[in-house]
Amino acid sequence: LIGTPGSDIEEDVDTVVLRCVTDANPQATIVWRRMGSSDIVSLEESLQFRPVTRKHTGTYTCEARNSVGVSDPLTVQLDVKYGPVIKTVGPDRLTTATLFSQVSFICEANSNPTPSYHWLQKLSPSPDSDAVLRGSDARLLIRNVTYDHQGEYVCRVSNVIGGNEHAVQSETVSLQVVGPPQILREGGNDATVEVVSPRGLNAVLKMTVCADPRPRTSSWEWGSLRLESGNGQGRYHAEELFQTAREDCFEARLHVNDVELEDSRNYFLVVQNERGVDRHPVRLAVREPVPMVVLATLAAGCLVIFIFCVLFAVYCVRTEKCCFARRGDFRPTDLESEKSDMNSSLGRKTPRIDASVLHGPGEAMYCSTPTRRPPHTIMAGGSPEAMKVRLAAMVLQPPTRV
């Protein structure tokens, strides 16, 4: 049996040709059948699918027969792959749910191999908006509906054939949430947002509330005071609720002018509509401003440290260059020149000094690293002038007899 597929077969892309080769005498007849059916598929040696489709999926048998007998059947399995096709999504294009209730969506698709499902919630109605992954199953179940779940959803179905991804996306389904107001909590239901402001400046406290139907009343409360939205009292002013980019969501703002230390406290936003009420705090923390003297002192300290670091770096660089110059610029001929100058002043002729001999002592004189010097021998009985020459030789050259 020749032509058995060795990799994925993709619908409407690949071609399959199966050949059943026989060796018989007298010549045999080929019979192709599909398992599960008694009908003969073909009596030809080759069974061809150009192109292959999903309806060709199945197990095929090939057997040969002549007047002598019938061969054992050979089988081949065709598993035709195809990308996902969404059948249904819903249950409805628009679903209305009560706040804190349960809701579910279903997405059904056909594909081979089995597809993956992803439920995505659009953050805004625009086509290019970002999305939030809400589920990874064919059925999306939201057990505790909040206003965060309100919006449009799409079902994305995908599979992989021959290393390539095939994906489709459903039409949008919408979820409408109705119920009492819900003030959005950052960090959890018990978390309190803190606003920090230096003393003497103006502070703005902001919170977002969602409600359907629209809030009927809203106010700010602290201590024994209550300030309705749209009103002001002394240094305090509460703005009217205004619509945000999110559907059925509004922002509330409380302005506190020229804040003092005694303004540090919790301020509660209270919102009410026909279905209920919600109340949640935001905290204002007033701090003493940092004195200018402290800021100037810190700046001066940082400047001094910076200057010290620069000077230290310059010192290190210059020290290294100096040491390098003293090590690399010395030449033995300089020592011979100094010796000749001294002898000329004494009226004596200076013998030539071999530079290779002076190499060791020269390094000892002109390098900061001390080395051991060979001992010098001084002959007795000479004149003071000769002694001066011998002393010079002790410093400038190896031992020399005069």
The 10s digit of each residue's pLDDT in 285-312 is 999 876 666 667 778 888 889 898 988 8
Query: Of 130-139, 161-170, 231-240, 337-346, which gets the smallest average pLDDT?
Result: 337-346
Residue 25 lies in a domain: yes
Rounded Cα distance, 345 and 365, in Å:
23
Q: Which amino acid is at 288?
A: E
Pair 154, 250 in one domain: no
Pair 222, 283 in one domain: yes
Of 253, 287, 321, which residue sits at a domain end?
Answer: 287
pLDDT at residue 343 is higher than 60? no
pLDDT digits (tens, 9 = 90+) for 185-210: 877 677 888 999 999 999 999 999 99
Pair 101, 27 in one domain: no
Of 80, 102, 128, which residue sits at a domain end?
Answer: 80
Pair 237, 155 in one domain: no
Residue 6 lies in a domain: no
Please compute the mean of the pLDDT values over residues 332-360 and round it to a whole number.
Answer: 49
Residue 308 lies in a domain: no
CA angle 324, 328, 333 (to 5 degrees): 150
Residue 297 lies in a domain: no
Pair 76, 89 in one domain: no
Pair 21, 46 in one domain: yes
Rounded Cα distance, 103 and 144, in Å:
8
Residue 379 lies in a domain: no
Pair 110, 173 in one domain: yes
Pair 244, 281 in one domain: yes
Pair 194, 281 in one domain: yes
The pLDDT, as a whole number, for residue 292 is: 63
Pair 131, 226 in one domain: no
Of 238, 269, 287, which residue sits at a domain end?
Answer: 287
Residue 44 lies in a domain: yes
The pLDDT, as a whole number, for residue 339 is: 52
Rounded Cα distance, 262 and 235, in Å:
13
In the chain, the percentage of residues whose pLDDT exceeds 70 is 77
Tally the C-alpha atoms within 13 A of residue 220's C-alpha that lie toward its C-beta.
28
Pair 146, 174 in one domain: yes
pLDDT digits (tens, 9 = 90+) for 245-289: 888 999 999 999 999 999 999 999 999 999 999 999 999 999 987
Residue span of the structural domain in which 119 resides: 83-178
Cis peptide leading into residue 113 (ω within 30°)? yes
The pLDDT, as a whole number, for residue 315 is: 83
Q: How many structural domains does the chain have? A: 3
Q: What is the CATH number of the domain that holds 152?
A: 2.60.40.10
pTM score of the predicted model: 0.64
Pair 88, 120 in one domain: yes
Residue 359 lies in a domain: no
Residue 69 lies in a domain: yes
Q: Please say whether the beta carbons of 64 and 29 come within 8 A.
A: yes
Residue 223, sorted as left (phi over 0), alpha (psi -120 to 50) or beta, turns out to be: left
